[in-house]
Amino acid sequence: MNERLDIRDDKFNEILCENSRVEHIATGFGFTEGPLWKNNKLLFSDIPNSRIVQYSLSEEGASISTYRYPSGNSNGLTLDLDNKLIACEHTNRRVSLTDETGNVSAIATRYNGKRLNSPNDVVVKSDGWVYFTDPPYGLARMTQGKELPFNGVYRVAGNGTNLELLISDLNGPNGLAFSPDEKHLYIADSLDKLINVYEVNSDGYPVNGKLFFDMNTEDEGVPDGMKIDTEGRIYSSGPGGIWVFENSGLLLGRILTKEIPANCAWGEDGSTLFITARTGIYKIRLNATGIPVGIR
């Protein structure tokens, strides 16, 4: 039995293959987050060092370099429909867009004239709308300089227009992900240690939110970043590792990591799950395929 796999339901075995084992592939960072597969390389945020790191693997071995510095203490990363990098920046309190020449511009900075808290995680819908969470985790003591009375979930057009507040009643919104058909939106609340699921109406607004899973255990770790596979299964960071659910809410099991994970992302041919966990990067090969980001 693989000691790094905590199987809670027999259906968990359906996503495992012969070489499904957790590998620790890089270490020595401050706090890793926002993993993203782009141009056959893994990007991720090293938050306290305010840089986006690029990890690549070739016949010569692994290579680590700085993709962007400073990054505004970036956290969540994703791609828009043109394969441009979108980043949630804590220090700059904005969501930014980096084009292929390296030019960085803001697409969300203020709501009703007040500065955002510290944008945290982000996902792009197939129609180009950018959805992001805005908890206070990047603010000193989570209160210093806070201008908005709530911690919101927003969407903004890809060109930086029409910023809309979607949800304002979550204590600590964090990771978010759409179901494969985009009819449901999953949002993690790291302060209340739960995941909610919302229906997405025809206009793209999340409605009828309800509890998907309560992850409030006594163990270290909280629901944070999450990703979805093509079968609609949810892979969320949580206590001890990555928690894997069916879309019914059934917990299939956990992929355990030596460090508490913060996020995950699909990469390589779409069946490798990369995991950011404190100072390190991990990966596992699975019999599942992730929903790609960027160019569709």
* 43-96 per-position pLDDT tens digit: 999 999 999 999 998 878 889 999 999 999 999 999 999 999 999 999 999 999
Determine the Cα–Cα distance for residues 167 and 196; give it in Å rounded to an integer.
12
pTM of the model as a whole: 0.97
pLDDT of residue 154 exceeding 70, the answer is yes
CA-based Rg of the chain, rounded to a whole angstrom?
Answer: 18
Nearest to 152 by CA among 199, 178, 181, 118: 118
Q: Specify the pLDDT at position 188.
A: 98
Give the tokens for residue 72: 């505004």
pLDDT of residue 143 exceeding 60, the answer is yes
Determine the Cα–Cα distance for residues 211 and 208; give it in Å rounded to an integer.
10
Q: Could you tell me the pLDDT band of residue 264, with boundaries at 50, 70 and 90? A: very high
Identify whether the C-beta of residue 114 lies closer than 8 Å to the C-beta of residue 148. yes
**108-125 pLDDT tens trace:** 999 999 999 999 999 999
Residues with Cβ within 8 Å of 61's Cβ and at least 6 positions away in sequence, in order, are none
Determine the Cα–Cα distance for residues 50 and 134; give it in Å rounded to an integer.
18
CATH no. of 5-285: 2.120.10.30
Q: Specify the pLDDT at position 295.
A: 59
Identify whether the C-beta of residue 281 lies closer than 8 Å to the C-beta of residue 42. yes
Determine the Cα–Cα distance for residues 178 and 129; give it in Å rounded to an integer.
12
